[in-house]
């Protein structure tokens, strides 16, 4: 397994993790994870909420209890 730092993040195995955007005033950040087969964007609010987006749209978490809404 290789690890290499890049200008905006790092490569770890087949994953490239990079910082994408941020808004210091509003407190949110976006991080991207790219592999040869897929890529996602992770949006984190200043309160710590995480939203994950891919080419197919936002990933909606399964609520506690295990059934989709």
Model pTM score: 0.81
Q: Give the number of C-alpha atoms closer than 13 A to the C-alpha of residue 56, restricted to the C-beta side.
A: 3
- What is the predicted pLDDT for the residue at 69? 55
Per-residue pLDDT tens for 9-50? 999 999 999 999 999 999 999 999 999 999 999 999 999 999
Angle, CA 59 vertex, CA 12 and CA 15 arms, to 5°: 10
- What is the predicted pLDDT for the residue at 65? 77
């Amino acid at each position: 397994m290789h690890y290499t730092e890049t200008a905006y993040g790092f490569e770890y195995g087949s994953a490239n993790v990079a910082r994408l955007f941020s808004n210091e005033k509003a407190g949110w950040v976006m991080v991207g994870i790219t592999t040869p087969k897929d890529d996602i964007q992770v949006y984190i609010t200043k309160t710590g909420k995480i939203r994950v987006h891919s080419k197919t749209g936002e990933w909606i978490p399964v609520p506690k209890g295990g059934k989709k809404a």
